[in-house]
Amino acid sequence: MRNNFKTCARILLYLTLILILSGVYVFADDEGVKVVATEGQEETVTVNKDVSSKGDAVIVKAEGEGSSAEVTVNGDIESDEGHGAVVSADEGSASLSVNGDIEADEDGIDAKAYNGGSVIVDVEGDVESDEDGGIDAAASDGGSVDITVDGDVTSEEESGLDLKVSNGGSIDVAVTGTVSGKQSGIITNAETPGCDGDVTVTVWKIKVNEKDGKKFVALDYNGKINRKFEKTINYIIKIKDPRYISLPNLKKGKFGYTAHEGDVLLVRVDVPDGYDLDHLYWDEDKELELIRGKDGNYYVEVPLGGGVILSLDLDEEDDGPVVKAAYAGPATGDKEELMLWIAIMLTAFGLFIKTIKCRIACE
């Protein structure tokens, strides 16, 4: 029995050493997951459960030329005191796929790419930070960061997105839901494409904040409203009833229809047979209706912060006007007319009976 125990202990020790030397660390639920690939190494790890940690919950790093680290988490990620996910690449490539939500005390996602490194993060859920940014991303010296969130991104204290590029770095963030932050929806040093690097944001809706009486969704690192960048944001235009509503002047991309703030969009409505168009809305709460232009077409202007979602109400067509009788008698509420009507009917009935009796007597 003792020999079997020693054998098992040795095997466990050897496996642990192998994992450490290869740069792969998979800890218990309360200790998180860490995967590190060094120069020339390729590491792939799948975690089929939720991951929670007091510190950084998931760490994915690719360090050195030819390095590759890939992690899939089939569950939620939660950190009580650290980052939800830390993903970085220096020359190599690092990727994280999360089939759930990310919730953290610090940044929900911390993504960094240097020296031509590539970072890819895909989240099938929401991303939330209690004290820092929802997503904090930086790319420099040709590095690239590509993040997609199929849900909302929220920061309770800072900005929803904190994006910084330098020396030809590029950042591409797409959020199919709402981005919101206490200080700002977005903070970035980018203004227009090609300025220090490229920053592309595609989002359905951004919370609109206010500063010195002016509304905004993006700030620069000096705390000023980043108006130039705001105009570059791609807003996803959602359609709740695609069978009946389309945007004929726009082409669908990866995330459907997109447009910029201030764009005026032609909205085509195909009402099915047997129905009439009752209302046509462009907001989530179905309170704001599209206005019909003088040309008879419907249009919507994309507002600051986006949030356009097109929907309609249909009514069944009427069968035609109701045909009323030429005379339906007086209203029962008018007693005088009612009594007169009864008297006329009784008199007519009495004359009718009298006429019948006379005919019988003559016969």
- For 311-336, write each residue's pLDDT tens digit: 999 999 865 433 322 222 333 344 44
Task: State whether 39 and 141 are in the same domain.
Answer: yes
Overall average pLDDT of the 121-144 stretch:
97
6 belongs to a structural domain: no
The model carries a pTM of: 0.80
Confidence of residue 348 (pLDDT cuts 50, 70, 90): low
Residue 56 CB partners (closer than 8 Å, separation 6+):
32, 79, 82, 83, 84, 85, 86
pLDDT of residue 86: 98
Task: State whether 100 and 208 are in the same domain.
Answer: yes
Task: State whether 143 and 61 are in the same domain.
Answer: yes
Chain Cα centroid distance, residue 298: 24
Overall average pLDDT of the 16-22 stretch:
42
50 belongs to a structural domain: yes
Cβ burial, residue 289 (10 Å; 0-12/13-18/19+): middle
130 belongs to a structural domain: yes
Bridge partners of 41, per DSSP, are: none
Candidates 343, 335, 206, 317; CA nearest to 261 is: 206
Task: State whether 95 and 157 are in the same domain.
Answer: yes
Give the pLDDT confidence of 194-223 residue by residue, as tens digits.
777 899 999 999 999 999 999 999 999 999
237 belongs to a structural domain: no
Structural domain harbouring 288: 245-316
Candidates 219, 217, 264, 269; CA nearest to 237 is: 264
pLDDT of residue 192: 78
290 belongs to a structural domain: yes
8 belongs to a structural domain: no
| Between residues 23 and 35, the one the model is more confident about | 35
Task: State whether 93 and 198 are in the same domain.
Answer: yes
Task: State whether 192 and 289 are in the same domain.
Answer: no
Task: State whether 179 and 66 are in the same domain.
Answer: yes
Q: For residues 289 and 269, what is the distance between their CA atoms, to the nearest angstrom? A: 14
321 belongs to a structural domain: no
Among the listed ranges 53-62, 292-301, 312-321, which one has the minimum average pLDDT value? 312-321
pLDDT above 90 (res 27): no
17 belongs to a structural domain: no
Task: State whether 174 and 292 are in the same domain.
Answer: no
Angle, CA of 116, 138 and 208, to the nearest 5°:
140
Task: State whether 192 and 268 are in the same domain.
Answer: no
Task: State whether 219 and 255 are in the same domain.
Answer: no
Task: State whether 222 and 357 are in the same domain.
Answer: no
Q: For residues 92 and 119, what is the distance between their CA atoms, to the nearest angstrom? A: 9
Choosing from 179, 197, 232, the residue where a domain stops is: 232
The pair of structure tokens assigned to 165 is: 């590029």
Choosing from 198, 232, 266, the residue where a domain stops is: 232
Task: State whether 135 and 193 are in the same domain.
Answer: yes
Choosing from 197, 232, 267, the residue where a domain stops is: 232
pLDDT of residue 193: 72
Number of structural domains, the chain?
Answer: 3
